[in-house]
Amino acid sequence: HICYTDIPVSLLQVKCVRYWPDDSEIYGDIKVTLIETEPLAEYVIRTFTVQKTFFFSGEGKGHHEIREIRQFHFTSWPDHGVPCYATGLLGFVRQVKFLNPPEAGSIVVHCSAGAGRTGCFIAVDIMLDMAENEGVVDIFNCIRELRSQRVNMVQTEEQYVFVHDAILEACLCGNTAIPVCEFRAVYYNISKTDPQTNSSQIKDEFQTLNIVTPRVRPEDCSIGLLPRNHDKNRSIDVLPLDRCLPFLISVDGETSNYINAALMDSHKQPAAFIVTQHPLPNTVADFWRLVFDYNCSSVVMLNEMDAAQLCMQYWPEKSSCYGPIQVEFVSADVDEDNLSRIFRICNMARPQDGYRMVQHFQFIGWPAYRDTPPSKRSILKLVRWLNKWQEQYDGGEGRTVVHCLTGGGRSGTFCAVCSICEMIQQQSIIDVFHTVKTLRNNKSNMVDTLDQYKFIYEVALDYLSSF
């Protein structure tokens, strides 16, 4: 196995030369063939075969045994500093350990210099084993020993703190990934209520999630707090983090480029979702600018319209312009709890940019008084309907705008269900805790009740039963 924690190009300077082929290539006397690429939101897994070639005198080329190599390429480490949270790296390290067979040889680990990031990965890996086997950790002496073998392992104070953060998160949260073959039995056990404590493992898990959810400081969402943006927020308590904001690009007079929205990863695609609030009367144009500017092919609406809460219809019956964006109705379809509409949208100020087809999915099976939908089957049907449209229109690569009233619990629940379905399909595991923790790292109100958290587990059970 090869673990790679860098990105090949930094600005205009080539940091690392790509050393693997798109198809098949011979490097010296080693033939390397790419067999499979599995892209995920935070890393990529590539599978290669390698074999040594040799020449028979006068008889041409021959080959030695074929070996299979997996490369795990962690793509979400920023150019400068460390990741904001260790959640992604912990999932990456555990996946490497899970897929590394006991009889395998040493793992090759590298970054650009083979020092800072490489040291972080190795230190986290060693400390996870130490915590599991001995019930203690010793990060200082671990890194001191690494540095005695290779200079500058864990190179900066920031990286040293990050390793501590990673191990603290690992010790608090544990390994919550469940193989699909064990999921039904595990879910039954963690759902059982202890009559003495009136609690359950799943309730304890949700309480742990609340403890480790990052606390939002005013300086983290300074843009949403600017006076000019106050009337663009439904609630001052639900503001997007500055680092997760999708800034609007298309120009609409003197209005700002702010919208109360946050970019979110799915399991397999970075920034697959843009979670936002139901548009206010004064932000409808901003909403459609968002859809157009970020090449969104789908909108998922999870709340009911309610004039008392300024939740009005924000789409046209035929055709209308919202700021610079023209939205034209094309067709509609209804299926039980799902009502869909297809629109053609374009920027009238830049007609050369062409138009986009957008499908609007209005989920009408989630009453305002309920934390969760009555039907798990209906929400799964919505996920399948969405995936089919995304695959048909954008090859599965398009973004989806997801909204409820404030862009909180309902939106987070839907995004988590989508990610869990991808996780089951791609890796045959289910990790609800990791999925919701990842969402909350970018927006702290994602999946905000225990009932919603349990609902994700229950939908995963239903999804498994559909195979």
Given a contact cutoff of 8 angstroms between Cβ atoms, the answer to whether 234 and 280 are in contact is: yes
DSSP 194: B
Q: What angle do CA 156, 158, 162 make, to 5 degrees?
A: 120
The Cβ-side half-sphere exposure at 445, using a 13 Å CA radius, reads: 20
Given a contact cutoff of 8 angstroms between Cβ atoms, the answer to whether 183 and 430 are in contact is: yes
- Choosing from 3, 111, 311, 421, which is the catalytic residue? 111
Indicate if 120 belongs to the active site: no
- What would you measure as the largest C-alpha separation in the chain, in angstroms? 87
The SS3 call for residue 340 is strand
Indicate if 111 belongs to the active site: yes
358-397 per-residue burial string, b: 16 or more CB within 10 A, e: under 16: bbbbbbebbeeeebbbeebebbbbbbebbbebbeebbeee
Residue whose pair of structure tokens reads 């992604």 in the numeric block: 88
What is d(CA 292, CA 346) in angstroms, rounded to the nearest whole number? 7
What is d(CA 388, CA 22) in angstroms, rounded to the nearest whole number? 28
- Choosing from 404, 415, 418, 421, which is the catalytic residue? 404
133 CB neighbour count, 10 Å cutoff = 8
| Two structure tokens written together for 96 | 């490497």
What is d(CA 66, CA 73) in angstroms, rounded to the nearest whole number? 22
157 contacts: CB under 8 Å, gap ≥ 6: none
Q: Which residues are catalytic?
A: 111, 404
